[in-house]
């Protein structure tokens, strides 16, 4: 069965995600984003990389209205992220939190994964089918009766992903999805994401994951886009990465030479 009940509702010419001059200042005065312009096409899988404090999580939270830009505009499939559109936007954008404990709150895994589609008003039988398919996709088919709070950190992360897959969002915003995973579950996650048709924006420090999974990378630093281009060009540029507090992917470390990425410095 398809995990995407919602089809991409915007006309084909629309970007899946569009940020135009997006800035965000927190109440304490910290400027987390400073004039970010990014367009992501329908079906793209894009890594969002950068050092701690670069604005990655803040940017992701703009996509479904968890945060509101101080300036600029965010559009999802041709529809602005605004108060009047918020219910519709949150059905289109599935957000997976960095800490799964912020996302899982029901007594059982089944109830957590069913929460989204139930609140879409879907019939119970369809919801159960979606739950079982989502848990199958993440390799947790026998976990329906388990208590989420008693799972390992990696298992919680996979349940959080299943809870987003179950309601059929068109756009996935994933915040450090591999951070709590052991090598086996990391490989499983990568296999899952590689097969999903949804547009994906993946904030990650795991540059090997970005290298293997995402054809394109957007590099943030101090709230600005400092590079945007093909992953295997950008993440091979040792000088660029070191300038912005990052290191080459582990698979490239020890190799000589770099490739110059297209930059916006």
Q: In this predicted structure, what is the pLDDT of residue 265?
A: 36
Report pTM.
0.87
pLDDT in tens, 208-249: 999 999 999 999 999 999 999 999 999 999 999 999 999 999
Matching CATH number, 17-252, of 3.30.70.980, 3.30.60.50, 3.40.50.300, 3.30.1330.10: 3.40.50.300
Contact 122, 114 (CB under 8 A): no
Q: In this predicted structure, what is the pLDDT of residue 117?
A: 87
Q: Where are the domains of the chain?
A: 17-252
Q: In this predicted structure, what is the pLDDT of residue 211?
A: 97
Q: How many CB atoms lie within 10 A of CB 10?
A: 17
Q: In this predicted structure, what is the pLDDT of residue 245?
A: 94
Tokens encoding 7: 């089809």
Q: In this predicted structure, what is the pLDDT of residue 12?
A: 46
pLDDT in tens, 11-26: 345 799 999 999 999 9
DSSP secondary structure string for all residues of 62-125: HTTTSS--SEEEEEETTEE--GGGHHHHHHHEEEE-SSGGGT--SSSHHHHHHHHHHHTT--HH
Helix axes 153-165, 124-137, angle to 10 degrees: 130
Residue (of 247, 265, 1, 15) closest to 125 by Cα position: 1
pLDDT < 70: residue spans in the chain: 1-13, 254-265
């Amino acid at each position: 069965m398809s995990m995407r009940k919602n089809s991409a509702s915007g006309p084909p010419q629309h970007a899946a995600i569009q940020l135009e001059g997006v800035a965000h200042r927190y109440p304490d005065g910290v400027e987390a984003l400073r004039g970010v312009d990014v367009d992501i096409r329908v079906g793209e899988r894009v890594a969002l990389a950068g050092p701690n404090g670069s604005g990655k999580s803040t940017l992701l939270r703009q996509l479904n209205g968890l945060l509101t830009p101080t300036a600029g505009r965010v559009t999802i499939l041709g529809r602005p992220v605004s108060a009047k559109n918020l219910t519709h936007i949150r059905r289109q954008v599935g957000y997976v939190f960095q800490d799964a404990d912020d996302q899982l709150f029901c007594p059982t895994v089944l109830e957590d994964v069913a929460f989204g589609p139930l609140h879409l008003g879907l019939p119970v039988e369809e919801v159960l089918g979606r739950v079982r398919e989502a848990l199958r996709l993440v390799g947790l088919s026998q976990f329906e009766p388990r208590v989420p709070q008693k799972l390992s950190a990696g298992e919680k992360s996979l349940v959080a992903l299943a809870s987003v897959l179950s309601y059929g969002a068109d756009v996935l915003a994933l915040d450090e999805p591999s951070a709590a995973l052991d090598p086996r579950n990391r490989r499983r996650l990568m296999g899952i994401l590689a097969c999903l048709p949804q547009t994906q924006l993946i904030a990650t420090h795991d540059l090997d994951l970005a290298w293997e999974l995402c054809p394109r990378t957007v590099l943030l630093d101090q709230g600005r886009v400092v590079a945007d281009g093909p992953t295997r060009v950008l993440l091979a540029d040792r000088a660029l990465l070191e300038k912005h507090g990052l290191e080459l992917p582990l698979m490239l470390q020890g190799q000589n030479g770099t490739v110059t990425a297209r930059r916006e410095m």
